[in-house]
Amino acid sequence: MLTVSNLHKKYQMGKVPVRALNGVSLEVRQGEFVAIMGASGSGKSTLLHLCGGLDQPTGGSIVIEGNDLAKMGDRQRTLFRRERLGFVFQGYNLLPTLSALENVVLPAMVGGTGGKNMEMRARELLDIVDLNHRVTHRPQAMSGGEQQRVAIARALMNNPALILADEPTGNLDTHHAETIWRLLARFSRKEGRTVLAVTHEPTGATFADRVIFLRDGQIAGDCDPDGEGHASLVATRYAELVG
Ligand SMILES: Nc1ncnc2c1ncn2[C@@H]1O[C@H](COP(=O)(O)OP(=O)(O)OP(=O)(O)O)[C@@H](O)[C@H]1O
Ligand SMILES: [Mg+2]
């Protein structure tokens, strides 16, 4: 459902080129849950941004559900993002004037399918991320971890075909982090949604079907985490491939 081919991203910092991605190729099946790991600066966020059509590559291509992102017009890409993709990014981008519930419902409103059902779904999602006691709170009246959980609920609101999550549990305690990993795993296994999630936590990565390791903008290797509880397997492979 996602095909990344020989992807390059070069940033120009004055005279110095920064090669954030240096020929990444990746094939992800529909319903697959892929975790991406790698040292800080290895290109993980860049890869996710490009896959979400939020930035343009300097080389290579990204095809999602048969659509080549580079060949879409701006408007078409915006609609595609809204209807097919769900984002959980660093810095939650919640709207400060809206309550938790309103922030979660928002993607459905923008898509033109608001209404009672949508509110029910939003409440359900907030319940799953353990925030049913915070529905009327605005972002400033919530902790960092709570805001992050609202952002996760919002990303799932439109039932996206592809979820792109950048360290979705970065601010969460172990218990809530596990809730989120289970939620993402359920989305992929039960509902056939595809998940691409960056994480630094071997324990989180064990919920994925496959872990991909990035090093200096290239794929250094991968591993099959072989089910929950095999965090040491992921950590060992990380040490081998990333250092
Ligand atoms: N807008 C930019 N201009 C110049 N260089 C950039 C820009 N964005 C990212 N980079 C560089 O590209 C490289 C990859 O960055 P990226 O954000 O993808 O790393 P990352 O793997 O997500 O790291 P982290 O784990 O710290 O989030 C880094 O060396 C970074 O400094
Ligand atoms: Mg990053």
- DSSP collapsed to 3 states, 141-209: HCCHHHHHHHHHHHHHCCCCCEEEEECCCCCCCHHHHHHHHHHHHHHHHHHCCEEEEECCCHHHHCCCC
Ligand 1 atom closest to residue 90's alpha carbon, by position in its atom list? 27
Amino acid at 92: Y
Boundaries of every domain in the chain? 33-55+85-241
Q: How far is the CA of 200 from the centre of ligand 2 (A)?
A: 10
The CA-CA-CA angle for residues 210, 215, 168, to 5°, reads 55
Q: What local confidence, expressed as pLDDT, does residue 226 receive?
A: 76
Which ligand ends up closest to the CA of 41? 1
The DSSP code for 219 is: E
Identify the CATH assignment for 33-55+85-241 out of 3.30.360.10, 3.40.630.30, 3.30.1490.440, 3.40.50.300: 3.40.50.300
Ligand 1, from 46, 49, 51, 213: best to mutate by most atoms within 8 Å of Cβ?
46
Ligand 1, from 9, 12, 18: best to mutate by most atoms within 8 Å of Cβ?
18
Q: What local confidence, expressed as pLDDT, does residue 122 receive?
A: 94
Task: Specify the length of the chain in residues.
Answer: 243
What is the phi/psi pair of residue 14, to 5°? 65, -120
Task: With a cut of 70, say whether residue 230 has pLDDT above it.
Answer: yes
Q: How far is the CA of 133 from the centre of ligand 1 (A)?
A: 36
Task: With a cut of 90, say whether residue 85 has pLDDT above it.
Answer: yes
| Residue closest by Cα to atom 7 of ligand 1 | 11
Nearest alpha carbon to residue 198 among 225, 220, 166: 166
Amino acid at 170: G
pTM of this structure: 0.92
Give 212's pLDDT tier (boundaries 50, 70, 90): very high
Average pLDDT value over all residues in the chain? 92
DSSP string, 116-143: HHHHHHHHHHHHHTT-TT-TT--GGGS-
| Range 42-47 average pLDDT | 97
Q: Between 140 and 110, where is the model more confident?
A: 140
Q: How many whole angstroms separate alpha carbon 61 and alpha carbon 42?
A: 19
